[in-house]
Structure 1
Amino acid sequence: MFEDCFKVSLPVLMTAVVILSSLLYWQYWRWTHRRMLELAKLVPGPPALPIIGNALIFMTKPEEQLKKIAGILDMYGQYARVWLGPDLNIVVKNPTDVRLLLTSNKVNQKGPLYDFMKPFIGPGILTGGPSWRNHRKIANPSYSKKSVHHYTETFNREATELVKVLLGKDPGVTFDLYSDMVQCTTQCVCQTLMGLSKEDSQNVLLMDDVVQDTQRIYDMLFKKMTRWWLQIPFINWLSGNLHKEKQILRMLDTFTSDILQKRRRALKVEDLGEDVMGIVDRYILSGELTDQEIKWETFTLFTTSQEASAKIASGVLLFLAYLPEWQDKVYNEIVELLGAEDEPVTEKQVKELQHLDMVFKETLRYFSIAAMTQRTVEEEITINNGKITLPAGTSLVIPIHEIHRDPQYWDEPLKVKPERFLPQNIGHRDPNAFVPFSLGPMDCLGRVYATALIKIIVVVILRAVRVEARGSPHDLPLNVAISVKPAGGYLLTARPRRTTNGLHRSL
């Protein structure tokens, strides 16, 4: 009988021990984090459950995550507190405080969400960690204005190749521009930032697979970021995601190893000038990175350059297709300032195209490169005119997509209106409400490079092709994950322009 009682009571005893241990740990955690808890009370936010916090709110589809954040901000204002388990997240939408925080040396590390990227790109420029400053410093000259000046020949040549592809399309058939655009930006990035020759760039192992799978990689990462159960190793394995991750890692290693080998061989016979040296060469010659670190940074800078540039360039042309009056303004400005002939375009020339710049900026506003960014607060910092203090260890969330759509700063934010970037309109708006490339020491490294690349591609295309789209661009259904893009793709048609004598332009 005694043994039977013991058998019955053992599970109960074990359950009691687990519950008691959890409660003791919970109390211990609250005591050691009492400063954080006190300061968190001063920030409005939804009621949090013990241990799991507000995690249940975000148990939804990945594309619904930002809508949840938007709903919280609508309810609580420009500052909101969200607990994800024991992690305190403070969402800040006030533009003045956004600038203060992103430029502060107290908020100079990426947030925990970036840890999910580290298996693919390691600790470095994009994910943060102890090495990001030095890795960025080494790569920075390849993104400088001097280097970009040398890259424009490649930009023009590859854009001309893209025009040939577009002129081969049936004028009556709608297609997704992105698939053709990303091939163009990929070649541009390979022949400039990666330092590859034209021949080598066309023969990198598995490059087509990497380009095609990039969005799948982003989607997989975003799901893991936003579905907490996938962060449990056993469930991640059971779902099949672990197998997919290993396949992707093998593919990326083959891809980056081939680029590294090609550049090591080339450096034995090439004597490159400082202004035309690619980032891979800089990392090799610095002697400060291991091969694995070079491969991580190679994929980081490859994918953030070619993929983001392709999305933005496709977005610009999509909006010009939807807004024929703006397409005419941009085209006429190109003809007036640069001429209609197929002469190469320089970075200096595209800076003069004010109408193109307005469409470019409106595209960046509507399709944010990063829907949100996260930082870790390393030292206490006070915001909201002294009313809120962010404690050390807090995860700061900047909802860039929501800032770019805040009606307080943007008239009819769901509409596409390039005129909102006219000088007279910019003057009436908080300049910090537009942060497409982020701010501070961790801002977008490739902003000068991408701006020149995208604008040159658009100019070369518009000289030869007229783009058209059906319907309206206003309130487009969006796919919001790591970046923002139209849910249906960049769908348009392309028709050859005609010269004054009625003949099709030839290339």
Structure 2
Amino acid sequence: MWLALISLVVIGSIAYFLFFRKTKNIFKEYGIREIDTSVVAGKIEIFLGRKGMPEGDDYAYKIMGSEKFCGIAEMGNSLILVKDMELIKKVMIKDFDYFVDRREFFSDAELSVKKMLPSLEGEEWKGVRTAVSPTFTTGKIRRMMDYFNSVGKDWVNSLAEKAKSSSDGSVTIEALKSVNHYTLDVIASAVFGFNAGTIKDPKSAFTTMAHRFADLNKWQLMKFVISVQFPKLISILKMKIIDEEALTFFERILDQGLKARMSGDTTKRNDFLQLLVEAKKGELKAEGKDELNSFEKEAQLNGGAENESGEKKQWLTQQIMNSQSLVFFFAGFSSTSNSITFTAYALAVHQDIQDRLRKEVGKIAKEDGSFDYDELSTLVYLDMVVCEVLRKFPAAARLERKCVRDYKDVESGLSIPKGAVVGIPVNAMHNDKQYYDNPDKFDPEHFSPDKKTQRNPYAYMPFGMGPRNCIGMRFALVETKAAVAHLVHNFRIEPTKKTPIPMSSYWAGFGLLPSKGLELKLTPL
């Protein structure tokens, strides 16, 4: 372990000195002001996982003042940080053809990960995105509501049983670990098409491998930082970031599931694998309520079904289908678990908000404890609470787009060379007083219908914007809202003596994670 760590530090140091000077020259050449963010987030601190890149973004965002953009010299990249809303809109939507790709992360040694939708580039990304998009519409997610309800009821019943057997009639939980039981069982049903039984058996092989697949330890985080800064180096060394045994475990499940679905040897289920198979066979049909909201309309692509020669192409290969299932699993489990945990924490600390939310949720709860998809979608205050959580605790604190050909914006004077990475400082914007009154305060009123109408929509981007936004946004929101509804309808959530107030969280890559071992107390109502 120590030998590997020393080797990684040496490789990172060599790469740093090889590329760092080049980074500075790019800003000077294109007339972009450079801001040194190492004063708050040094490169070595980021490399060792002690600081996160978003901390440097926040600093640069403040130093910029009224300027529209600036340059940040990272270890191996020239990052152009954009603050101006109109410029952001051009990068994300208006001039999207210049910013189709994201920066590289993974090597060919991790092909299943490299073929995930967020990692794909150019025509391959466009083709796969076009083929997969119909699987995430309203009607398709509505099909899966039974999973959210059945798992949600199992989850709260299990917690209620533990509370019942305790001396004070309540149960103290390690919040993230408990939420993981819910999200894993939902994802197992909605993606892999089987009952994982995580709630009943938290030590199952599926659960163990899921954590190994999704959780990045210090060693993996360091490799991730190197992959972000020096993707070519990662490819040359064929370095792997994801736990190989866990990745193989899930690939095997997906291979077996897809082969059975393609051959018709199994009963049709309302899950993601089935939708992918229907899409591959050309059998995926629109449903009566497959309406698109503005977020989804802005993500629509023209074409994408043809290859470079203009011929019809089948983009959904076995590898591509496996990879899309894996990214859906990763996002639906890890990112959503964090959001639900942050929500539970916020409700525990703000009892008035919890009481108001419980009253709203109670109006639509059915006698058996389940919730209707359409009725859940009408809960205004629940939406306000979840939006505020995603503002305060974003899953992606920075969005990135790679410039695929030289770009010049006449209005702002910004010139971006091919290959440069443009960063959108989401966390900084989410905490800007220009857009949010008292941004430091957790307040769902930031997302009241009136406030949302008055605010520039690009000041809130937990799922990105435009064609490369988060394709699973609708699923993630329903999964989160269902979990929160089940929780507040059945329990009073409170902090314990060990619960940190204010929240103690930490950065892992571009994401914000809840503090490890976060405790909450649940008392059945």
| TM-score, normalised via structure 2 length | 0.76
Quote the offset at 1:247 in angstroms. Answer: 8.1
1: CA distance between counterparts of 2:272 and 2:322?
20
The structural deviation recorded for 1:142 is 2.4
1:355-504 alignment, distance < 5 Å: 355-383=381-409, 385-470=411-496, 475-481=502-508, 482-497=510-525
* Residue identity matched to 1:160: K
* Percent pairwise identity: 17
Determine which of 314, 317, 332 is the counterpart of 2:341: 314
**Contact between 2:343 and 2:389, CA under 8 Å: does it hold in 1?**
yes
Partner Cα distance (2:333, 2:471) in 1: 13
1:144 is the counterpart of 2:137: yes
Instruction: Name the CA shift for 1:179/1:86 in 2 (closer, same or farther; >3 Å).
Output: closer
1:382/1:270 Cα in 2 relative to 1: closer, same or farther (>3 Å)?
same
Alpha-carbon shift at residue 146 of structure 1 (Å): 0.8
TM-fit CA distance, 1:322? 1.3
Aligned partner (choices 189, 192, 196) of residue 191 of structure 1: 189
Using the alignment, how far apart are the partners of 2:354 and 2:27 within structure 1? 54
Contact 2:71 2:78 in 1 (8 A): yes
Partner of 1:303: 330
The secondary structure found in structure 2 opposite 1:82 is strand
Q: Would you say the 8 A contact 1:469–1:493 is kept in 2?
A: yes
Letter of the 1:296 partner, please give it: S
Amino acid across the alignment from 1:294: M
- 1:175 is displaced (CA, Å) by 2.1
Aligned partner of 2:373 among 326, 338, 347: 347
Residues 372-395 of structure 1 show CA distances to partners (whole Å, capped at 9, x for unaligned) of 122111133345932322222211
Task: Classify 1:322/1:390 alpha carbon distance in 2 versus 1 (closer, same or farther; 3 Å).
Answer: same
> Which one of 277, 283, 287 corresponds to residue 281 of structure 1?
277
CA contact (8 A) 2:143 2:270 kept: no
Opposite residue 415 of structure 1, the aligned amino acid is: K
Q: Of 246, 249, 258, which residue of structure 2 is paired with 1:254?
A: 249
Q: Aligned residue for 1:209?
A: 208
Match of 1:90 among 73, 77, 80: 80
- Separation in 2, partners of 1:247, 1:143: 26
Distance 1:414 1:218, change over 3 A: farther
Distance 2:326 2:379 in 1: 32
Do the aligned partners of residues 278 and 40 (structure 1) sit closer, same or farther apart at CA in structure 2, a change above 3 Å counting?
farther
- Report the aligned-residue RMSD: 4.1
| 8 Å contact from structure 2 (residues 136, 472) kept in 1 | yes
User: CA distance change for structure 1 residues 230 and 483 in 2, over 3 Å: closer, same or farther?
Assistant: closer
2:259 is matched with 264
Match for 2:336: what amino acid?
Answer: S
Consecutive unaligned residues of structure 1, counting only runs of 5 or more, are 1-21, 49-53, 498-507
Deviations 1:280-318 (A, max 9, x none): 535765764444433333222211122222222222222
Cα deviation, residue 109, structure 1? 0.2
Alignment-mate amino acid for residue 157 of structure 2: K
After superposition, the Cα gap between the structure-2 partners of 1:435 and 1:288, relative to the gap in structure 1 and judged at 3 Å, is closer
Counterpart secondary structure, 1:213:
helix
Indicate whether 1:112 and 2:104 are aligned.
yes
Count of residue correspondences = 460
Residues 460, 121 of structure 1: alpha-carbon distance in 2 compared, 3 angstrom cutoff: same
CA deviation string 1:136-183 (max 9, x = no partner)? 233223211111111111110000011012212445553222212222
Pair member with larger Rg = 1
> Is 310-319 or 359-368 further displaced after alignment?
310-319
- Counterpart contact for 1:224–1:230, Cα < 8 Å: no
| Conserved 8 A contact 1:321-1:492 | yes
Q: Is the 8 A contact 2:258 2:277 kept in 1?
A: yes
Structure 1 333/44 Cα, relative in aligned 2: closer, same or farther at 3 Å?
same
- Report how far residue 38 of structure 1 moved: 5.8
Structure 2 counterparts to residues 160-239 of structure 1, below 5 A: 160-167=153-160, 168-169=162-163, 170=166, 171=169, 174-194=172-192, 196-198=193-195, 206-217=205-216, 220-226=219-225
Cα 1:359–1:187 change in 2 (3 A) is: same
Kindly indicate whether the alpha-carbon contact (under 8 Å) linking 1:342 and 1:463 is maintained by their aligned counterparts in 2: no
Please report how far the alpha carbon of residue 235 of structure 1 lies from its aligned counterpart in structure 2 after TM superposition: 12
Task: Find the aligned partners of 1:80 and 1:216 in 2 and give their Cα distance.
Answer: 33
Q: 1:229 to 1:387 in 2, by over 3 A?
A: closer
Shift of 1:70: 2.0
Output the CA distance in 1 between the equivalents of 2:435 and 2:410: 18
Shift of 1:197: 3.3
How many Å separate the matches in 1 of 2:368 and 2:450?
34
Shift in Å at residue 215 of structure 1? Answer: 4.4
Q: Which residue of 1 aligns with 2:14?
A: none
Q: 1:380 to 1:153 in 2, by over 3 A?
A: same
Alpha-carbon offset, residue 134 of structure 1: 2.2
Distance 1:461 1:396 in 2: 39
Cα distance in structure 1, aligned partners of 2:98 and 2:234? 36
